Amino acid sequence: MAEHGAGAGPRVLSGTSRLAGIIGWPVSHSRSPRLHGFWLDRYGIDGAYVPLPVRPENLVIAVRSLRDLGFRGGNVTIPHKEAVVAACDRLEESARCAGAVNTLVFEADGAIVGLNSDGAGFIAGLAQTVPDFAPAEGPAVLFGAGGGARAVAAALLKAGCPEVVVVNRTPGRAEALAAALGPRVTTGSWGDPGPLGRAALVVNTTSLGMLGQPPLALPLEALPPQAVVADLVYVPRTTALIAAARARGHRTMGGLPMLLHQASVGFALWFGVTPVVDEALADFVAGDIPDEAPSEHRAPCG
């Protein structure tokens, strides 16, 4: 079987092509079409995966319309991960735990099923990127309290993390997340470095650091030297936070490994093949992602 770009030739869609896509607003930043396109080429699948920009007020009707048009399902990205629950007929346990949906499956009987592969993708990416770290080593501090934060928090708890501290600019959202996930989840105050001092893992789940956004500036000098720093942002591939953490000698994980691993769940459900996450895929997806944020978006992080 030919690899992408190695003589496989263009895919030609038929009248029975399997269709999926990514729903967001905006959705132009997403590399998911590039990622799934690589796999479709690699495995010679008669199918397509397309970007689907959907305004928030049109979300539910758009999801139902995609089902009626014959799509197999799709991914869901910001700002729709929590709101799309209203369009689902059934939620898998992963979505119930996360309180958010990042993957939709349209079943043969018309049912819309929501699941969440973000948490599993984060854990798999962490295991691949920082293999000598285990979530059970100590507390994790998460910045942000949206759907991504809840999915990662739930997955960390399942993996044995003893405590997750959620820090958000709006305290009420952090408190709601903690209440939903139980006593091992607590909250911290934005700007208070205290939780960092005992952290084994720090995770940015906000959009801060994304290309065009200001960086997440943290007092990294408060972190224990052995702490791991992770960022869900993958555009740029190396955020200011990750660059600062590496400069201080911390083990790090950018957002790309999570993106790749979470994507494999939906691909298998829509296209019938469990894809391999490997270096060739990572290199291809990263091919059009800037490696670092522009200098004007780099700020001291500690």
SS3 labels along 220-283: HHHCCCCCEEEECCCCCCECHHHHHHHHCCCEEECCHHHHHHHHHHHHHHHHCCCCCCCHHHHH
Is 103 among the annotated ligand-binding positions? Answer: no
Is 5 among the annotated ligand-binding positions? Answer: no
Give the integer Cα–Cα distance in Å for 153 and 288: 30
Number of H helices, E strands in the chain: 9, 12
Q: Are 273 and 246 in contact (CB under 8 A)?
A: no
Q: Which amino acid is at 112?
A: I
Is 14 among the annotated ligand-binding positions? Answer: no
Q: Is 158 a catalytic residue?
A: no
* Contacts of range 29-34, beta carbons closer than 8 Å, 24 or more positions apart: 29/210, 29/211, 29/235, 30/77, 31/234, 31/235, 31/259, 31/285, 31/288, 31/289, 32/75, 32/77, 32/259, 32/263, 34/284, 34/285, 34/288
pLDDT at 13: 87
Is 234 among the annotated ligand-binding positions? Answer: yes
Is 187 among the annotated ligand-binding positions? Answer: no
Is 186 among the annotated ligand-binding positions? Answer: no
Annotated catalytic residue: which of 42, 81, 150, 237?
A: 81
pLDDT at 293: 60
pTM of the model: 0.88
Q: What is the mean pLDDT of each run of 10 residues along the chain (302 residues)?
A: 48 89 93 96 96 98 98 94 95 92 97 97 97 98 92 96 97 96 97 96 95 93 98 94 97 97 97 96 91 53 36
Give the integer Cα–Cα distance in Å for 32 and 75: 9
